[in-house]
Structure 1
Amino acid sequence: MINDELRIAEVTDPDTIRRIQRLRAECWMTTGLPATVFPDGQWCDPGEEQPPFRHWAAFAGARLVAAGRLSIHERLAEAPGGHLFAQLPVELTPPIASLNRLVVHPDVRRQGLSRRFDDIRLAAARAAGARTVLAYWSRVTGLARYRGLEALGFRRVSGFDFFNEPPTGLVTAMVLSWLPPG
């Protein structure tokens, strides 16, 4: 499949969000995570079907092939993974955006989709006034993903593999901070 054939759009309808939840399990199982981690064949986070969660999806025709999520919060405790960052000696200025749940189907990997999703979500975070962006990396997503986040300006704020976070296991915390406009 060629990257130019893919259409990326923000999605809000519950049916597409359920498809994204199934795609997560499908993609993560290709990285070695066992099916037992996904007993219902999907990965859902509580409340993700509504604001402040925003979802983007990539389609090849009608087929869903990639997805990523963004949320923006005034308090760290409200952000996905906020409990991880609360353990760290790092200053996080609100509003705080959380870049997470990026998955790319194996059929379309290595075509720059992760970067396209990151660019779209970071632009949305910046437009919404976010001052800090959280991300966490796990080895199941591969070293290229870690390097991609670094290339965007994220810096590691924890040791590698510092916390076990379902479903992907041990994660490394990363932060991107922006100066206020003007």
Structure 2
Amino acid sequence: METRFEIRDAEFLLVKLDYPERLDEMGALRVLAWKEEQGISPDFFSHKAWLDEDDLRAHHWVIIHNKEIVAAARLSFHKEYSSVPHADLFDASLLDGFCKGPYASLNRLVVAPQYRGNGFSALLDEARINFAAEQGIKMIIAQPVESRIKPLEDLGFIYLGKIRPLFQMPERQIYFMIKELGKQD
């Protein structure tokens, strides 16, 4: 799955990768893009790449410019809420009024600092949401930072509250949002 597009006379390519293609490059982009962000534990920047066990099971999308990954995001599938990354940091009883799985979770969205402001986050969100819908997913969970709440609401996500701090980001507030697929937006 590839989509070519242009921004300011530069050509980009949105690609869904096959595992484990370019996984180390995505992890390196996370370190590069997030090392200057406030509230993230510096321990995670002592390595060349920021990867975790969920990367091994997830689906990944990247945006490439001149053969270099400039943005990336992943989508994970879960039969039960308890297997969603950081499920233990949010009160699952708040999901009682919503459909029950299977679930997808949007995570690890990263855009290289010099490429921010080009709509890459929206392109990656739409690609992941469409893929989840094609796979029969009923509910997508997102755990964004504050700046991502409005864009996700524009895509039909509902804000449910804050989650307890992640150990990787002890001083950075993360929020909890959901989107039921198959409902009118």
TM-score band by shorter chain is 0.7 to 0.9
TM-score scaled by structure 2? Answer: 0.83
| Alpha-carbon offset, residue 172 of structure 1 | 0.8
1:94 has 2:101 as partner: yes
The equivalent of 1:178 in structure 2 is 181
Aligned to 1:117: 124
CA contact (8 A) 2:19 2:59 kept: no
Please report the RMSD computed on the Cα atoms of aligned residues, expressed in angstroms.
2.3
Partner of 1:156: 159
Residue 24 of structure 2 aligns to a residue whose secondary structure is helix
Structure-2 residue corresponding to 1:22 = 28
Q: 1:42 offset after TM fit, Å? A: 2.2
Match of 2:17 in 1: 11
Shift of 1:88: 4.5
After TM superposition, the structure 1 stretch with the greater mean CA deviation from structure 2, 59-68 or 23-32, is 23-32
Aligned to 2:149: 146
> d(CA) in 1 for partners of 2:69 and 2:167?
23
For 1:78 and 1:36, the matched residues in 2 are separated by 25
Aligned length in residues: 173
Which 5+ residue runs of structure 1 have no aligned equivalent?
none
How far apart in 2 are the matches of 1:35 and 1:110? Answer: 25
CA distance in 1, matches of 2:18, 2:167: 24
Aligned residue type for 2:47: D
Question: Aligned partners of 2:48, 2:93: CA distance in 1, in Å?
Answer: 33
Distance (Å, rounded) in 2 between the aligned partners of 1:30 and 1:115: 22
How far off its partner does 1:175 sit? 0.7
From 86, 107, 111, give the equivalent of 1:104.
111
Deviation at 1:89, TM superposition (A): 1.8
- Quote the Cα distance in structure 2 between the aligned partners of 1:150 and 1:47: 25
- Provide TM-score, normalisation by structure 1: 0.84
Give the unaligned 5+ runs of structure 2.
Answer: 1-5
> Which residue of structure 2 aligns with residue 44 of structure 1?
51
| Mean CA deviation greater in 90-99 or 7-16 | 7-16
Name the % identity. 27
How far apart are residue 86 of structure 1 and its match?
Answer: 4.4
State the 1:103 CA deviation: 0.2
Instruction: Find the residue that maps to 1:20 and give its secondary structure.
Output: helix
Which amino acid is 1:176 matched to? K
Q: Once the 2 structures are TM-superposed, how far is the Cα of residue 87 of structure 1 from its aligned partner? A: 4.2
Distance in 1 separating the partners of 2:166 and 2:41? 15
Report the AA paired with residue 131 of structure 1: K
